[in-house]
Structure 1
Amino acid sequence: MGDQKEALRKITHTLAVKNEEISNFVCSLKQSLENLEANSNRVQEDLESEFTALHAVLDEMKENMLTRIKQERASRTYELQSQLSAGSKALESSEELLEVANQTLCSSETDGFTQAAKEIKDSVTMAPAFRLSLKAKASDNMSHLMVDFSQERELLQGLKFLPVPATPEIQLSECQVSDNTVTVVWAMPEPDSKIDHYILEHRRTNHEGPPRVREDYPWMVVEGIKETEHTITGLRFETRFMTFRVKACNKAVAGEFSEPITLETPAFTFKLDSGSSHQNLKVEDLSVEWDSSGGKIQDIRKDKNKNSPMHSPARSALMSPKRAPSARPGRDRFTAESYTVLADTLIDAGQHYWEVRFDKESKTFAVGVALRSLGKFDQLGKTGASWCIHLNNWLQQSLTAKHNNKARTLDCVIPNSIGVYCNYDDGVLSFYNAKTKQLMHSFKTKFPQPVVPAFMVWNGSFSVVTGLQVPSVVQSGQRKNSNTSSSNASLT
């Protein structure tokens, strides 16, 4: 009976997985149909717009050419009409003079003939007909304004859809993830000189496989990439993976996206556990501010949050196995002068790094790690259950490394931000100037139990930066110091 139930459970699980795959496929097909309709309308509108623009150019060229013909005709008409008018007047004057000359020649009178002949001769000499040019000032030939659009016609008849760029292929083996920076490298199946740029999209995900139809995070777009690789810097890895895809674009059209690839982005993420904090600390997810008004406001906030989605069973079921419960089992929150708050995520293996930015005017501030069993009255560094760097602004400013109620003054500049490196397996806890990555202090110990990031502040504030990978310079420095004896042995 038990074997049959187990077999049925396996079959049911397989069927459920298959149903989810089919459901995702159906959703994908529906989305593709919607995209097809929208994209078809878009390219049709683009085509009509292009032809309208082409017609506008042709119409403008036609108007310009017609204007040129009209201007040329008007200019030549004026010249020829001017010559015609002058010629007509000259001809009329010449005909009149010719008639007078003929009448004089035919006259039988001899008296006054000599004088009349002389006058006619003078009139002929001065006649407009003899000053008139008999060559037309303008040609009636307009062939220089003829056009031949045979080449253009062939060009227009050769119009066709611009070839879509091929789909790039991301070179997974050449992609790199380090120092919260991702470099993605891709290649084209064959050279394409018409490619103008590439578009790279990426999004966070907690799923290792191919992208699902319903993802929790949107695609982020990087446009105008000219090379076949791109580096994204300044990232915070708040999920386990990042998915990437890329497409090529020419001047008019974009190709299809490449097959998406998923890169693992390991980093340490946590939030501050308000259930552990002192009542005088106003705690948000990753920031703390001293609140002298005390516990009444905190109690009201706690009551309001009891039934919030953050505390729902469904959300709790999705939490990481290392995520510590929001309230410390069997203990109250920190109290008295232990102005402490812990993170909600345990460290029980591996190497981790986070940073904290703090108000250097805080009366006191401390950052480090602690066991979950740290007592509610215990202050960081004053018991064997915690290791920290402690800033004191009371009377005189000092920076010390503390553990088990032992302190060592640190001779270094107090930075604005501290980086914390924890190598649980090797028992190393190091503190760095977060900006310069200069080592401030290292503890070498053996953690008896899993630890959590721990913070303390009085009359001040701080904020935590998580989702960070261990910086390469920190890892390199740790390797160099791995074979040297610790100068802080008295504090371990």
Structure 2
Amino acid sequence: MQQDDLETLIWHLESLRKITNTLALKNEEITNFICSLKQSLDNLEMNSNRVQEDLESEFSSLHTVLDELKENMMTRIKQERASRTYELQSQLSSCSKALESSEELLELANQTLCSSETDGFTQVTHHVTMAPAFRLSLKAKASDNMSHLMVDFSQEREMLRGIKFLPVPATPEIQMSECQVCDNTVAISWTLPEPDSKIDHYILEHRRTNHEGPPRIREEYPWMVVEGIREMEHTLTGLRFDTRYMTFRVRACNKAVAGEFSEPVTLETHAFLFKLDSGSAHQNLRVEDLNVEWDSSGGKIQDIRKDKNRTNSPLHSPARTALMSPKRAPTARPGRDRFTAESYTVLADTVIDAGQQYWEVRFDKESKAFAVGVALRSLGRFDQLGKSSASWCIHLNNWLQQSLTAKHNNKARTLDCPIPDRIGVYCNYEEGTLSFYNAKTKQLMHTFRTKFQQPIIPAFMVWNGSFSVQTGLQVPSVVQSGQRKNSGTSSSNASLT
């Protein structure tokens, strides 16, 4: 086959590969969209049933209120009727008795008037004068008019006819240009299409993700909810960025109903993330996640394991295995003999070969010795941090007299600064800058300036003590500004580089 034909074939193969990859990505997008549509159909069915049940519940509640109101008003009418009936019947009975008594007196008086005897005139006159009829009030004690208990529901009827579905709040729009990611905080800002005085609060949801673009149906991380936001902005603080991105969405709520979520917005949350490589740890160091504790009995246990599992093949060397990966080293090595003797060291599982990175470490001040820094992956298994040209560190010594020193290539410089509870480490690989800070106050403790000839890796040492590492941190803005300010000045630490 001629060279031109071969190049043409390669070009066609490469074109076909690109088209195939594009089609595969499109198929994945269509698959995700189909899942989204199916989920929307399920949600539509569920939400329709929910609002129908809510509507029936509201009308049932309204009927209950009307029934209660009707019962109360009917009771009032019955009570009023009973009270007036009693008054009128009592008055009727009194009048009937008075009338009967008057008729008897009239008959007696007529008989007396017709009599020729005058002896009974005085007595009859007295009885007639005291007749009950003279004491009666001929005005009804209760009215038969019940019009004061009549009702007019015309206004309420019009109000009921005006019942309609609540207006759903408009959908907010997140302003990408106003959002900020800095110092492990994220500030989100949004707007509404038009002002709405009935908005009571907003609900913000955020989710970690390693995928750029719209959210997928099957995401590894759940939505986290922030409720009761009164303004059209919110800042999340104290975050740890252990994914490449964060996705945000927001919706507005009035006192009865929530609107639709805004279009999701994905923000990049770049931060240096690594784990401790337990396979690289000295046998006396017990590593659990990002925590390390001195274990004086670890060596005895490891000696037994070494006798059983030891191999002389250089292919099984942890150091050799680590050198085979440019980024992340394996986290399990069979012998765990990466460091030995008095090199009580453990390395991270991720190298630094570009950019600016930052991490922090909290250590036990009562540790007999502690060190934090960086090392080349070629650091010898007997090498202690700072005592060879392959490592740079800050070292705390608590053995005889407490001291804090910067160490490199077996040279040390005593640092005249308080010993902090937590140390922040900043590395600018291209500029060859390695700085150590008081993590709480961000006060600069020491800076190494050098030129890294090969990738470096976070390194730690502890003897008779413990420490914990915090990763997923961005370079603090105060550190960045301080580095820019000092970038043009000469280093006072040149003797250690």
- Report what 1:451 is aligned to: 456
- Report what 1:324 is aligned to: 329
- The one-letter code sitting in structure 2 at the alignment partner of 1:148 is D
- Report what 1:68 is aligned to: 76
- Report what 1:398 is aligned to: 403
- Report what 2:478 is aligned to: 473
* Worse overlay, 197-206 or 290-299: 290-299
* Worse overlay, 39-48 or 72-81: 72-81
- Report what 1:268 is aligned to: 272
1:321 to partner: Cα distance: 6.2
- Report what 2:366 is aligned to: 361
- The one-letter code sitting in structure 2 at the alignment partner of 1:119 is Q
Instruction: Please tell me whether residue 30 in structure 1 is matched to residue 38 in structure 2.
Output: yes
- Report what 2:211 is aligned to: 207
**Hey, what's the Cα distance between the residues in 2 that align with 1:299 and 1:6?**
54
* Worse overlay, 41-50 or 1-10: 1-10
1:491 to partner: Cα distance: 1.8
**SS at structure 1 position matched to 2:120:** helix
- Report what 1:99 is aligned to: 107
1:489 to partner: Cα distance: 2.3
1:147 to partner: Cα distance: 0.8
1:287 to partner: Cα distance: 1.3
Q: Label 1:327 to 1:80 Cα distance change in 2 as closer, same or farther (>3 A).
A: closer
Answer yes or no: is the 8 Å Cα contact 1:331–1:376 preserved in 2.
no
Answer yes or no: is the 8 Å Cα contact 1:76–1:138 preserved in 2.
yes
Match among 124, 127, 130 for residue 131 of structure 2: 127
1:477 to partner: Cα distance: 1.8
Structure 1 residues 410-462: Cα deviation after superposition (integer angstroms, max 9, x where no partner): 22222211111111122221111111212222222222221111100111111
Question: What TM-score, normalized by structure 2, do the two folds share?
Answer: 0.91
- Report what 2:322 is aligned to: none
Q: Label 1:332 to 1:293 Cα distance change in 2 as closer, same or farther (>3 A).
A: closer
Q: What is the aligned length? A: 473
**Hey, what's the Cα distance between the residues in 2 that align with 1:85 and 1:358?**
102
- Report what 1:371 is aligned to: 376
**Hey, what's the Cα distance between the residues in 2 that align with 1:421 and 1:489?**
18
**Hey, what's the Cα distance between the residues in 2 that align with 1:246 and 1:205?**
17
Q: Label 1:203 to 1:461 Cα distance change in 2 as closer, same or farther (>3 A).
A: same
- The one-letter code sitting in structure 2 at the alignment partner of 1:262 is T
**Hey, what's the Cα distance between the residues in 1 that align with 2:227 and 2:302?**
46
**Hey, what's the Cα distance between the residues in 1 that align with 2:244 and 2:204?**
20
Same amino acid, percent of matched pairs = 83
Answer yes or no: is the 8 Å Cα contact 1:282–1:298 preserved in 2.
no
1:10 to partner: Cα distance: 2.5
Structure 1 residues 202-236: Cα deviation after superposition (integer angstroms, max 9, x where no partner): 11111111112221111111111111111111101
Unaligned runs of 5+ in 2: 1-8, 310-324
Matches within 5 A, 1:88-237: 88-107=96-115, 110-111=116-117, 113=118, 115-237=119-241
1:327 to partner: Cα distance: 6.8
**Hey, what's the Cα distance between the residues in 1 that align with 2:305 and 2:222?**
31
Answer yes or no: is the 8 Å Cα contact 2:279–2:336 preserved in 1.
no
- Report what 1:310 is aligned to: none
- The one-letter code sitting in structure 2 at the alignment partner of 1:172 is M
- Report what 1:313 is aligned to: none
Answer yes or no: is the 8 Å Cα contact 1:353–1:420 preserved in 2.
yes
Instruction: Please tell me whether residue 489 in structure 1 is matched to residue 494 in structure 2.
Output: yes
**Hey, what's the Cα distance between the residues in 2 that align with 1:135 and 1:31?**
79
**SS at structure 2 position matched to 1:74:** helix
Q: Label 1:298 to 1:285 Cα distance change in 2 as closer, same or farther (>3 A).
A: farther
- Report what 1:440 is aligned to: 445
1:41 to partner: Cα distance: 1.3
**Hey, what's the Cα distance between the residues in 2 that align with 1:275 and 1:179?**
32
Q: Label 1:394 to 1:468 Cα distance change in 2 as closer, same or farther (>3 A).
A: same
**Hey, what's the Cα distance between the residues in 2 that align with 1:197 and 1:365?**
50
Structure 1 residues 39-83: Cα deviation after superposition (integer angstroms, max 9, x where no partner): 111111111111121112112211221222222222222222222
Answer yes or no: is the 8 Å Cα contact 2:359–2:472 preserved in 1.
yes
**SS at structure 2 position matched to 1:204:** strand
RMSD: 2.3
- Report what 2:52 is aligned to: 44
**SS at structure 1 position matched to 2:235:** strand
Instruction: Please tell me whether residue 384 in structure 1 is matched to residue 392 in structure 2.
Output: no
Q: Label 1:11 to 1:486 Cα distance change in 2 as closer, same or farther (>3 A).
A: closer
Match among 273, 280, 283 for residue 279 of structure 1: 283
1:16 to partner: Cα distance: 1.4
**Hey, what's the Cα distance between the residues in 1 that align with 2:410 and 2:153?**
95
1:299 to partner: Cα distance: 8.7
**SS at structure 1 position matched to 2:194:** coil
Unaligned runs of 5+ in 1: 305-319
Answer yes or no: is the 8 Å Cα contact 1:383–1:403 preserved in 2.
yes
**Hey, what's the Cα distance between the residues in 2 that align with 1:301 and 1:148?**
94
* Worse overlay, 75-84 or 373-382: 75-84
- Report what 2:342 is aligned to: 337
1:120 to partner: Cα distance: 2.3
**Hey, what's the Cα distance between the residues in 2 that align with 1:392 and 1:296?**
26
1:295 to partner: Cα distance: 4.6
Instruction: Please tell me whether residue 350 in structure 1 is matched to residue 367 in structure 2.
Output: no
- The one-letter code sitting in structure 1 at the alignment partner of 2:85 is T
Question: What TM-score, normalized by structure 1, do the two folds share?
Answer: 0.91
1:135 to partner: Cα distance: 1.2
**Hey, what's the Cα distance between the residues in 2 that align with 1:321 and 1:84?**
113
**Hey, what's the Cα distance between the residues in 1 that align with 2:302 and 2:68?**
74
Answer yes or no: is the 8 Å Cα contact 1:420–1:429 preserved in 2.
yes
1:181 to partner: Cα distance: 0.6
* Worse overlay, 120-129 or 239-248: 120-129
**Hey, what's the Cα distance between the residues in 2 that align with 1:297 and 1:68?**
90
Q: Label 1:228 to 1:415 Cα distance change in 2 as closer, same or farther (>3 A).
A: same
* Worse overlay, 120-129 or 153-162: 120-129
1:332 to partner: Cα distance: 4.8
**SS at structure 2 position matched to 1:275:** helix
Answer yes or no: is the 8 Å Cα contact 1:195–1:249 preserved in 2.
yes
Structure 1 residues 266-288: Cα deviation after superposition (integer angstroms, max 9, x where no partner): 11100111121111111123111
Structure 1 residues 11-51: Cα deviation after superposition (integer angstroms, max 9, x where no partner): 32222122212211111111111111111111111111111
**Hey, what's the Cα distance between the residues in 1 that align with 2:178 and 2:465?**
46
**SS at structure 1 position matched to 2:81:** helix
- The one-letter code sitting in structure 2 at the alignment partner of 1:63 is E
- Report what 2:92 is aligned to: 84
